[in-house]
Structure 1
Amino acid sequence: MPLDQIQNLLDTLYADTLRVDPAVRARHHLTEGSPSFYAAMREAYMPVTPDFGRLLYLLVVCGRPSLVVEFGTSFGVSTLFIAAALRDNGAGRVITTELESGKVARARANLRTAGLDSYVEFRVGDARETLRDLPADSVDLLFLDGEKSLYLALLRQLEPALRPGSPIVGDNVDFAGAQEFLDQAGYLRATFSTEALGTRHDHQVLLRTRAAVPTADQVAVSAR
């Protein structure tokens, strides 16, 4: 599997996560959704789970997107999975945006170490500003992994930029702040979970629907 070419770096970053993140969280005693949560997590890796990272890789390999947009870079673990898939496809780029400039510096270094930095455009600041310039019908995959209370606002903002049929992938949709995103109508959704260190993490893949998607009961009735 081509992903093995960066597996040693991923293993190192996940090991660092196990060493750093629990201590950072214990020191600040904050839950996601607290006003100062993300500022307090400047030192924390907060990566996607390994299984979810591999799913991102597979989605990009299978979908062959020209442009992926990622909200929430952190130290670039998920960006590594995406950029590795773009490299293996032979084309494409990912625009990734992150509020904390220090995290972007770490992510740049990680992507450079992996030899994948040429596939990535880093943007620093509030995603509602850094992603304003995306042309219509330009985004082939949108990955949401930043502040959960911004998921719905960003989805609505970026809808014109999404190509028809482009998947939207949301991480940790069970966290506080994501409920409005989950309640947004007009999308076909698949929810699933991965596990890391005994903790379950919920995710969603969305596709915009042109018509109402029939329920299981409706399908059963029409099949009679």
Structure 2
Amino acid sequence: MTITLHETRVRSVLDRLFGAAGADDGFDVPWDVVRTGSAQERADALAGVYMPISARGGDLLYGLVRSGRPETVVEFGTSFGISTLYLAAAVADNGRGHVYGTEMSAVKVAAARKNLDEAGLGGVVTILPGDARRTLADLAGPIGLVLLDGWKELCLPVLRDLEPRLAPGALVVADDIDQDSMAGYLEYVRDPANGYVSVAFPVEDGMEISCRA
């Protein structure tokens, strides 16, 4: 059985990116922009910051995609492509499907595409530059898996936009659920009236896995 995730060319890119992400503490964050800027202004101001998922969270994503074998995977918040690599490796190993990433920072879009190509996975990923609520508007369904890892106040609006195109049984994974700004999102997906069965998964920063039931 092929496990692309363990191939040297993929692991070397992931190791390099996680190493660079570990050096983010030295980045001079423009907090005034982060606190008050628009989504685009924040994306541009933080163009050098990785903000990645954890390695265990990536393994979880890989397993979910391998198991569910979705034709269409959507990622809100691609950044430098760490999470995208896990999703793309799973799609490649399934032999079917495509990943659609979204990212507002032009710097990160270019870097993510380069990283995916270096790992040999660029052919199964399309990264859409710009505001996800616009770039995903015309994406056809059914969507089998969604990763929400962009600006936290936009996770629920993006999910609501995608809901009409979610396949029955689709999985929605949200990262960083320990952040206060995710409270409204969690309240929504944990309310059975909204059509989800949802559970928190104990990886770094926390992930919420919600099944569109």
What TM-score results when the alignment is normalised by the length of structure 2?
0.88
**Structure 2 unaligned blocks of 5 or more:** none
What is the CA-CA distance between 1:41 and the residue it aligns to?
1.4
Q: Is the 8 A contact 1:33 1:149 kept in 2?
A: no
* Residue equivalent to 1:2: 4
Deviations along 1:26-75, one digit per CA (max 9) or x if unpaired, are x2263997234433211011111000001000101111111100000100
SS at 1:194 equivalent? coil
**Which of 137, 144, 161 is equivalent to 1:140?**
144
Higher CA-based Rg:
1
* Residue equivalent to 1:90: 95
* Residue equivalent to 2:46: 41
* Residue equivalent to 1:30: 31
* Residue equivalent to 1:52: 57
Q: Is the 8 A contact 1:33 1:177 kept in 2?
A: no
SS at 2:79 equivalent? coil
> What is the aligned-residue identity percentage?
41
**Which of 191, 194, 200 is equivalent to 2:203?**
194
**Structure 1 unaligned blocks of 5 or more:** 196-200, 210-224
SS at 1:28 equivalent? coil
Q: CA RMSD in A?
A: 1.7
Q: Is the 8 A contact 2:4 2:92 kept in 1?
A: no
Q: Is the 8 A contact 1:148 1:176 kept in 2?
A: no
Residue type at the aligned position of 2:200: T
SS at 2:36 equivalent? coil
What TM-score results when the alignment is normalised by the length of structure 1?
0.84
- Comparing 107-116 with 29-38, greater Cα deviation is found at 29-38
